[in-house]
Amino acid sequence: MRCEHRNPLRFEAARCLLLAAAALASAPVMAIADNAAQPAAPQTPPNSMGPAQRAGAMLDSALDSTRAWLGRQSDWVSDQAQSGQRQARKWWNTTKVTTWGVEEPARAAEVWLAQPVPCGPPNPASPCADMSVFWQRLSAGSRSPLPSHLVLLVHGLDEPGGMWNDLAPALFEHSFAVAKFDYPNDQHIADSADMLAAAIRGLASRGVKQVDIVAHSMGGLVSRDVLTRSAYYAGDGSAHDGFPAVSRFIVIGAPSAGSILAPLQPVSEMREHISRHLEGLSARDDGWLHSYADGNGEAAEDLAPDSAFLRDLRSRPNPHNVAITNIVSSLVTPAHQDDLLSLADQASGWLEKAGFEHRPPMRQFVQEAISDVGDGLVSCSSAEWPGVTDTVRLCADHRGVVQRWRWLDTVDPDCRYHDRIPQGIPVILDRLSRDH
């Protein structure tokens, strides 16, 4: 799929990043590994080398040494980040106990029902600009009936609350009943899944017969745990054991293989709670101390690549009797990918003409770098879900796939970013409409 808009600034940043990554990765490590499996070829005596060959050999050696040094520094930085995260979490937990007497996360999960608020005359050209919504908390003790068919939105890690500001109105304009699940998302993902399962069962007790789940980022893992864990749906999306049927599951940028940015979770935690407070989105009576009841950062452990939670989740069979759509986004558009790969091929041609004996696979390195960049937070390879045939690939960042970045209008007013429809919204509307 080609993107309608090409952002030159984004492309230049991506081009510099990817070419730098390709250059650093271009040491002849792969060639050395290949040669190790073959009989050693006679080496050319240094005195018999021409000037270009000697320059190439020196550059090869320098790149090899640089790559090894960068690898050691990367390992050291990763170790320091993990150590710092553990120390910060230990200090935070101790502070919560000694200062506020809080030892365990106390905040409960909540389901909010969307109510429409018209904000202008109808505009057929835009499916998400004609109304907004306000969210009405569903009281746990209430038994008032709910719509029989409900779209349930599940957010990801450290979400301040505005993730669905564009999608929810678009769903309303297409006659969908919408609710969102809000939960203490810094705790273990399995604990969040327990809360989601209880919330879905509670919806069934109020007349909901069918649920379509739209889940973003870590919310996709929470929902997948509910659908595949033996204690709940056990891999069968049909209605049973007090649960309503889950007929459709739309996943947006879920890190099924984890994220190398998981150690930065305390930063997103701070952003979440400051945003919640300033925008009046904090849970009832939480105030500035909302974060003390939101978990102790255990979700970051579960999101680390190759964590025990992710290994267990990926080992389960995909759920059946539920239509699954997996949306994978990338910052680099297909058109930009073509440009970058063309540059990689040109670089390979330059190296060949310069007489380099070990020419690195530049195209392969650029392709891997594009995949690693992904949507800015989740790599393309991590967002893949093996066995899901309905995979949609879009050109967007992690949040921008369903939410407009309105602040960009202050940077470039002529582009009118607020008028652009996030690319994921038409896809979601299309898939949900197939069940109606």
DSSP state letters, 128-148: TSSEEEEEEEPPTT------S
What is the predicted pLDDT for the residue at 388? 96
Q: Model-level pTM?
A: 0.68
What's residue 282's pLDDT?
Answer: 46
Lowest average pLDDT, out of 113-122, 270-279, 349-358, 417-426, goes to: 270-279
By CB neighbour count within 10 A (0-12 exposed, 13-18 middle, 19+ buried), where does 100 fall?
Answer: exposed
Determine the pLDDT at residue 163.
86
Is the Cβ–Cβ distance between 113 and 208 less than 8 Å?
Answer: no
Q: Which of 154, 171, 70, 62 is nearest to 112 (CA)?
A: 154
What confidence tier does 414 reach under pLDDT thresholds 50, 70, 90? low
pLDDT (tens digit per residue) in 50-97: 666 666 677 667 767 776 776 676 666 666 666 665 666 566 555 555
pLDDT, residue 108, reads 74
CB 259 within 8 A of CB 303: yes
Percent of the chain topping pLDDT 70 = 56
Average pLDDT (273-294) is 46
Q: What is the mean pLDDT of residues 187-209?
A: 94
Highest mean pLDDT among 57-66, 205-214, 394-403: 205-214
User: Tell me, what's the pLDDT at 220?
Assistant: 97
Q: What is the arrangement of strands in the sheet containing 323-330, beginning at the earlier edge strand?
A: 131-137, 110-118, 178-182, 149-154, 210-216, 245-252, 323-330, 391-395
Residue 139 pLDDT: 77
Q: pLDDT tens digit string along 317-330?
A: 999 999 999 999 98
Task: State residue 284's pLDDT score.
Answer: 45
What integer is the mean pLDDT of 173-196? 92
Question: Helix (H) and strand (E) counts for the chain?
Answer: 14, 8
| pLDDT tens sequence across 131-181 | 578 888 887 667 788 999 999 999 998 776 678 989 999 998 999 999 999
Cα angle for residues 186, 149, 212 (degrees, 5° grid)? 45
More confident residue, 381 or 292: 381
**Domains along the sequence of the chain with CATH:** 99-330+418-433 (3.40.50), 335-373 (no CATH)
Nearest to 362 by CA among 380, 347, 372: 347
List residues bridging with 135 in a β-sheet.
114
pLDDT recorded at residue 40: 46
At which residue do the structure tokens 């320059």 appear? 55
Give 426 or 348, the one with higher predicted confidence. Answer: 426
Specify the pLDDT at position 358: 57
Which residue bears the tokens 């380099």?
Answer: 356
Query: Do you know the residue count of the chain?
Result: 436
Q: How confident is the model at residue 286 (pLDDT cuts 50, 70, 90)?
A: very low
Question: Mean pLDDT, to the nearest integer, of 9-36?
Answer: 44
Which token pair is 4? 């309608």
* Confidence check: pLDDT of 410 > 90: no
More confident of the two residues 384 and 268: 384
CA gap 312, 309 in Å, rounded: 5
Q: What average pLDDT does the structure give for the chain? A: 74
Give the residue among 336, 407, 334 at the shortest CA–CA distance from 17: 336
Q: Which of 127, 193, 169 is nearest to 419 (CA)?
A: 127
Question: What would the mean pLDDT of 230-251 be, rounded to a whole number?
Answer: 96
pLDDT of the residue at 131: 58
What percentage of the chain carries pLDDT values higher than 90?
34
